Amino acid sequence: MDDAELLEAVARKDESAMAALFDRYSGLVYSIALRVLREPELAEDVMQEVLLQVWRQPGGFLSQKGSLGSWLAVVSRNRAIDVIRRRARLTPLEEMVLPEPRNLQRTIEDSRMMDRVREAVETLPEEQQSSLHMAYFDGLTHIEISERTGAPLGTVKTRIRSALATVRKALQV
């Protein structure tokens, strides 16, 4: 069954469908939370919360047909970073107003496109990878990354911009 079919079954409170979605996405959701939080216990909590949200409100995900993985990745990352921000007493992402990710709906139905993006990401130059990782997983600002790595701010900006340009190019082929 594809994601949409599973979500429809989940909407009918079909536990085996939810278990199937869990098997499909828990590794991704957990992995992102773990890279942000670096604590398995907390990462598992985030993963549970994110996937329980699918169980409780599958309708919200149904409209995102074809991009459930991308969606869950965003949710997991934001939730996990919020855990850190709450600890550090910074404004949590959940309080920030974000525009509708309309374009997510257009993203990647077919796994070949995902594979292309994965390959592009894996072959990013090391310094682009690490800058983007610090921004994405650690939630650091460009300035913080510059301070932490000793690279000039302009260089950090270029690295992150280039990394995302590579992702976009792989999406658009």
Partner 1 sequence: MSNHAFHLEEDDLIQYALGTLKDTQLTQFTAHISLCNVCRGRLAQYRTDLAVFGAVQPPSSLPDGARERFLARLNNPAPSPSALEKIRTRSRAYLFSKAFRHWMDTPAPLLILSGALAIALTFVGYDDLSHIHQLRQMQPEINRFERESSKFQELEDFLRGTNAQDATLRRGINTNKEPEGHVLYSAVNGRLVFTATNMPGPPPGKTYELWVLPANGGNPIPAGTFTPDLQGSAAIVFPEIPANVQASSFGVTVEDQGGSNTPTLPIYMSGQ
3-11 and 40-56 helices cross at what angle (nearest 10)?
A: 70
Q: Judged by CB under 8 A, which of 1, 5, 38, 57 binds partner 1?
A: 57
**Residue 151 lies near partner 1 (rule: CB under 8 A):** no
15 makes contact with partner 1 (CB under 8 A): yes
Quick one: which of 21, 26, 18, 61 has its CA closest to 46?
26
Contacting residue, 12, 41, 110, 173, with partner 1 by CB under 8 A = 41
Supply the angle between the helices 68-88 and 15-37 in degrees, to the nearest 10.
50
Minimum CB distance to partner 1 smaller for 103 or for 150? 103
Residue with tokens 């536990």: 15
Q: Is residue 95 a contact point for partner 1 (CB under 8 A)?
A: yes
Question: With binding defined as CB under 8 A, does residue 111 bind partner 1?
Answer: no
What is the phi-psi region of residue 108: left when phi exceeds 0, alpha when psi lies from -120 to 50, beta otherwise? left
Please identify which residue in 42, 66, 149, 151 interacts with partner 1, judged by CB under 8 A.
42
99 binds partner 1 (CB under 8 A): yes
Q: What is the nearest approach in angstroms of partner 1 to the Cβ of residue 153?
A: 9
Which residue's structure tokens are 């869950």? 72
d(CA 124, CA 136): 15
Minimum separation from the CB atom of position 26 to partner 1 (A):
6
Residues in 123-142 that interact with partner 1 by CB under 8 A: 132, 135-136, 139-142
Amino acid at 132: L
Residues contacting partner 1: total by CB under 8 A: 86
